[in-house]
Amino acid sequence: MKKFVFVMNALELMSKLYVGKRVAGVLFVDENTGRLTFKAYNRQPRVRAKDLMVKKLPWGWVKESMERIKVFGSFPKEVGTARVMGLMDDNHRDAKNAMIERELDIIEFC
């Protein structure tokens, strides 16, 4: 049994197919014409702003995104638990100081 499929935006669809891409969409029977119709999805890439580096720390970094302040720390195990705990405190203190410096720079800039 042969079926004819009406394709919406056929030129765009064929250009994607010739390049070798797959096209996702929906196949349905049009209510007005009663024809079998394929409509490709208009998928847009998600564009997200990169995080801004506030300060690079000896054991990590402090970054600022649109909604959050991010602090990362990674410490070597071979220095021992007590030393790692001290390094964590130092890293956190440095991160807080970086935030204070950032605020002072913003105030000074205005």
**Is a pLDDT exceeding 80 seen at residue 109?**
no
CA of 68: how far to CAs of 51, 98, 109, in Å? 9, 15, 22
**Is a pLDDT exceeding 90 seen at residue 107?**
no
Give 45-73 pLDDT, tens digit per residue: 889 899 999 999 999 999 999 999 999 99
Give 72-98 pLDDT, tens digit per residue: 999 999 999 999 999 999 999 999 999
The H or E element containing residue 55 is strand 52-57
Average pLDDT of the chain, as a whole number: 90
**Is a pLDDT exceeding 80 seen at residue 110?**
no
β-strands 36-40, 25-29 pairing = antiparallel
CA of 53: how far to CAs of 60, 81, 100, in Å? 11, 29, 14
Indicate whether this model's pTM tops 0.75. no
User: Other C-beta atoms within 10 Å of 26: how many?
Assistant: 9
